[in-house]
Chain A
Amino acid sequence: MSRLIDKKLSRRRFIGLSSCTLATAVVGSQVKVLRALATSGDISAPVAGKDDSIFTTCGMCVNKCGVIARVRDGVIRKLDPNPHFIKSRAMLCARGNAGVKVVYDPDRLKYPLIRTGARGEGKFRKATWAEALDLVAKNLNTIADKYTRAGVMFASTEGTYQDHFFNQLAECFGSPNTVRHPTLCLSSNIQGFSATFGTNPTPDVLNADYIIMSGANRSEALITPDSIDMLKGDGGRRKVIYLDPRFTKTAAKADKWFPIKAGTDMAFILAMINVIVSEGLYDKTYLQNNTVGFDKLLPHVASYTPEWAQDECEIAADDIRKVAREFAEAAPKAVYYQGRRSSFASNDTQMRRAMAILNAIVGNWDVKGGMLPNAGIKLTPHDYLAPWYDDVPERIDAGSVAFLSEKDGSWPVVQERVLAADPYPVKGMMIYKQNVLSSVPDRAKTLKMMDQMDFICCIDITMSDAAWYSDVVLPEATYLERQDPIESLGGPVPVAVFRQPAIEAQFESKPCLWIMQELATRLGEEIAETFDFTMDEYIHHQVKNNPQILTDLKEKGVYFERTEPNYGSTLGKRLKTVSGKIEIYSQRYADKGLDPLPVYISPTKIPAGKYRLIVGRHAFFTHGTTANNAYLHEIMPENTLWLHSAAAAQAGLTHGQTVKVRSSVGEETLNLEVTDKIRPDCVYMAHGFGVLSKGLSNIYGKGGCDAALIETKYCPISGNAAMHETLVEVVPA
């Protein structure tokens, strides 16, 4: 072929050949050539699309900030923050700005694909929607017939606002096995704080004078408005105390950073409680009126002295004492900030309980600068009657942990039990934008779990690892191409949001609702009936009791009823706990055979030559979903393994060297970053790299995957994965 390219094509060759022969021989005379183009004859009308500014919400991470999509010539050119959007303080971050790239990424999914080679081999063919959907429905029905409807599991993302439709299909199909992100994220927070306050409250970061954060890296793991408000504060009174084995960006911004020994946060908190109660730095009347079990707390924390904690968490007793006194002094405008991801250790729920109790005893509940109850914007729900099926067993992870979320399940338990077919086989998997091979600990085990599936269908916008290992891949329209229903974002200042399409969906991508409706039609009349509505009807139904919501959304891109928290709204009223009060002592836990007050358990001692693997987020990326984004990829092309300089010297390892990180379940290869920004007993790698799917062309072969190394361990109360309990060794590659 090079011969042809190098030389000039001889036109004489053409002359020598009969044109009549070519006319029929080259393509055949009957071939329709104009497939894409049609004659309009009209050359006066504008060729390009419209110019417009569309209010919508960001879909790049969990925060869902207000966005104005600037459309020029029918193309989204820029995303701007919505100045009315109070939750994000009218800000749009780098990730939000990079959203344009999601829509116009040549690596995006474009058409339904059907696997033709072996699973994971990477051979697909394009299919029509009808063919792909028929195949999905056929497989779901076959598995249901053979293994009951519980034989298909449904794994879903959150925050697309259309995830409700995916979960509705799961429910109406009749599978109890829905599994969502909380047990990889915040379920121990929800459990620990709810057991205490009846809800998982929101710290009033903007107004608190004293904030303690442990492991909640708000300057990099962004949560709005906290990441912004953390740096504000009231005059010079604001103080941020930060505990983390790593010197993160939040550590750099904090007034004080303590490089706490990983897994010992509860010791620090219990010692703080010890100081506050032993020195009488609390309001006795308040505690008597508003809490139960304070009397049991006193003897419980007696042995948890700062001197005891000093040995556990390697923070000086005097420092613990000082922080405890300052915290109590600043109260009630003082918060021990619980963070969001709480999948640290297997005693995480009890650690979150300790945090909640510490907050409770300084009386910061529902006051300015304290811990605030959440509210929502009232929307009229879409009611449907899910069909009833007689033979469906309970969830596969039923009974595995003390408080299992009926809809969310526990990912680590589901993974183990599906693999063991215990107590029954699960042979089908429907995945909606949850990249399970990147997010669920022990990737090798997740792969095995997927290998034993008869059928896997994945709905996504990119060829994620999960999509790569699927049999049918369905392309969803991106968040900038969809009309999404209205969603209430709860919090002390709740807002209602929605999404409007800035442009039409590209290629043949479709919104989740359309996909679910088409599947429902194929799965049976009873299921289809529950989806008998248009998006427009759905939205109008949501606002039928308050049409102003839709008016504001169209005019301002956001709806809210107040701009300040409604402080004190719950004071003097029953909380959603068994006693109706703040439960320092949990009778509910005692009844379940759990410790009614948090009992400290020392983390496993780290043997010589090993390190504790800790994981975390970057401001540039959202979990495993954005690292292939070209704009963001440019900022951080790959992840590295952080190791302290002393530890590196001892191990004979040098900066930039390629190393192997090995745990009991996997081995990853990545470059070493020798740094003093981490304790010598830990190593750290950012999440979202080391992907399996070569379809993510920017990041394939770059860095290492934390999920490949993390062992399956979880909290027996909430089912939350324990992501910081894996010990690894590091050797030259």
Chain B
Amino acid sequence: MLHISQRQRLYAFFSQLFTYPDAELLTVLQGESPAEVGVLLGVAPPASAGLSLVALQEAYTGLFISRHGGVPAPPYGSVYLDDGVLMGASTLKVTEAYHAAGLVIDGSSEPADFLATELEFLYFLVGREEEGFRGRDVAAARLATSRQHDFLVNSLLPWLEPFADRIASSDAPPIYRWAAAGLLAFCRDEQSWLARLN
């Protein structure tokens, strides 16, 4: 089995990668992390040499905020699940899932179904799972895995697939193409074993 901390760290890695790039992300990308994740995913990351913060920010802006060619891959679930709009019914479901786990949006101007935030939520749930196991509270751990499964099935995976397709068919730089495909594969795999677990 994949270790809990590995899963948690993968969610953290992807959440950070799909957040607007800052110096911290550049440091991560220029370190060992992408290679390590590459080993886990079975596909090596693209070369990070020559990555610059400005180039990353330009690419992120062009892919996800405003760009030449329209925003090809808006990183919001409802755009894929609710007929192209922000703040659709699916966004409310996501907010409810956060709320049920005792979480609120705080310190972000993004809608609840922003990709990085959804991954952050899964990171949090894996943390709860880990705490449960550590404290020998099986019920808490099971609740956390059950929530992960439900969230992946109902909220994230249904749009992660078309999202990854859009990244694949866009002119996204290699790092985002690698990350989108890798994230999708990882989430599918998570869903699969969580289904068996639950």
Interface residues of A (CB under 8 A from B): 1-5, 7-11, 13-15, 17, 19, 21-23, 25-28, 31, 33-43, 47-48, 73, 75, 101, 103-111, 113, 116-117, 121-126, 463, 468, 473, 506-508, 630, 694-698, 700
Contact = CB atoms under 8 A, between A and B. Distances in A.
B37 interface: yes
A473 B61 CA distance: 13
Given A19-B5, A106-B85, 10 more contacts: A4-B41, A5-B184, A7-B42, A33-B120, A43-B101, A110-B66, A124-B66, A126-B65, A695-B66, A696-B70
Contacts of B6: 14, 17, 19, 22, 26
Contacts of A101: 85
A35 B20 contact: no
B58 to A, nearest CB: 5
Given A36-B105, A37-B106, A48 B9 contact: no
Contact of B84 (A110, A630, A700): A630
6 contacts: A17-B36, A31-B16, A38-B107, A106-B86, A125-B58, A695-B67
Contacts of B16: 27, 31, 33
Contact of A15 (B2, B72, B102, B110): B2
Contact of A36 (B33, B99, B106): B106
B134 interface: no
B66 to A, nearest CB: 5
Most chain B CB within a 10 A radius of its CB, from A10, A35, A43: A35
Contacts of B40: 13-14, 17, 22
Contacts of A42: 102
B66 A31 contact: no
Contacts of A506: 86-87, 109, 111
Interface in B139-198: 164, 168, 177-178, 181-182, 184-186, 188-189, 192-193
A695 B28 CA distance: 31
Given A126-B57, A508-B109, A27 B3 contact: no
Contacts of B100: 43
A726 B41 CA distance: 61
A75 B95 CA distance: 13
Interface string B82-125: 00111110011001101111111111111100101100110110
A36 B107 contact: yes
A687 to B, nearest CB: 21
A4 B19 CA distance: 23
Contacts of B54: 116, 125
B40 to A, nearest CB: 6
B120 A47 contact: no
A694 B67 CA distance: 7
Contacts of A123: 58, 61-62, 68
Contacts of A124: 58, 61-62, 65-67
Contacts of B72: 697
A125 B74 CA distance: 16
A15 B2 CA distance: 5
B36 A25 contact: yes
A33 B72 CA distance: 26
A28 B33 contact: yes
Contacts of A508: 109
Given A3-B43, A9-B186, A700-B70, A75 B87 contact: yes
A4 B168 CA distance: 13
Contact of B12 (A14, A17, A26): A26
B59 to A, nearest CB: 9
Contact of B110 (A5, A36, A125): A36
Given A17-B6, A36-B106, A104 B87 contact: yes
A47 B84 CA distance: 23
Most chain B CB within a 10 A radius of its CB, from A5, A26, A47, A698: A26
Given A19-B6, A26-B37, A106 B87 contact: no
A475 to B, nearest CB: 9
Contacts of B43: 1, 3-4
Contact of B178 (A1, A103, A110): A1
Contact of A43 (B27, B85, B102): B102
A117 to B, nearest CB: 7
A116 B57 CA distance: 10
Contact of A48 (B2, B92, B177, B185): B92
Nearest to B104: A40
Contacts of A113: 61, 65-66
B85 A9 contact: no
Contacts of B85: 101, 104-106
Interface in B42-70: 42-43, 54, 57-58, 60-62, 65-70
Contacts of B39: 13, 17
B71 interface: yes
A42 B103 CA distance: 8
Contacts of B61: 113, 123-126
Contacts of B79: 106
A11 B189 contact: yes
Contact of B66 (A13, A22, A107): A107
A36 B57 contact: no
Contacts of A48: 92, 95-96
Q: Name the 3 nearest CB pairs between A and B, nearest first.
A: A697-B70, A122-B68, A36-B108
A35 B58 contact: no
